[in-house]
Amino acid sequence: MKLVLENITKVFPNRNKGEEDVVAVNNFSFEIPDGKLVGLLGPSGCGKSTTLYMICGLQKPSGGKIFFGEEDVTNLPPEHRGVGLVFQNYALYPHMTVRQNILYPLQNLKGDDKLSKEEMLKRTLEVAKLVQIDNLLDRKPSELSGGQQQRVAIARALVKMPRVLLLDEPLSNLDARLRLQTREEIRRIQKETGITTVFVTHDQEEAMSISDMIVVMKLGIVQQIGQPQRVYDDPANLFVAKFLGTPPINVLKGEVRGGMLFIGEEAILPVKGVADQPVTVGIRPEGFVLDERGPLHCQLSGVEVMGRDVSVVATHEASLNPVIRSIISAESGVDTTAQEIRYSLKPHKVLLFHAETEERIPVEV
Least separation in angstroms between CB 200 and another protein: 14
If the CB atoms of residues 115 and 334 are measured against another protein, the closer one turns out to be 115
CA 298, CA 342: separation in Å to the nearest integer? 6
Least separation in angstroms between CB 105 and another protein: 4
Cβ atoms < 10 Å from Cβ of 217: 27
Helices assigned H by DSSP within the chain: 48-56, 98-107, 117-130, 146-158, 176-193, 204-210, 228-233, 238-243
The answer for residues whose C-beta is within 8 angstroms of residue 4's C-beta and 6 or more apart is 30, 31, 32, 65, 66, 67
If the CB atoms of residues 62 and 299 are measured against another protein, the closer one turns out to be 62
DSSP state of 272: B
Least separation in angstroms between CB 227 and another protein: 29
If the CB atoms of residues 8 and 314 are measured against another protein, the closer one turns out to be 8
Least separation in angstroms between CB 77 and another protein: 7
Residues 124/133, Cβ–Cβ less than 8 Å = no
| CA distance to 43, 205, 206, 224, per residue, from 228 (Å) | 17, 10, 11, 10
If the CB atoms of residues 30 and 104 are measured against another protein, the closer one turns out to be 104
Least separation in angstroms between CB 110 and another protein: 8
Nearest to 352 by CA among 296, 269, 230: 269
Q: Which residues bind another protein (CB under 8 A)?
A: 56-60, 77-80, 83-85, 87-89, 91, 93-95, 104-105, 108-110, 156, 160
If the CB atoms of residues 55 and 136 are measured against another protein, the closer one turns out to be 55
If the CB atoms of residues 43 and 105 are measured against another protein, the closer one turns out to be 105
Least separation in angstroms between CB 165 and another protein: 11
Q: Which amino acid appears at position 149 of this protein?
A: Q
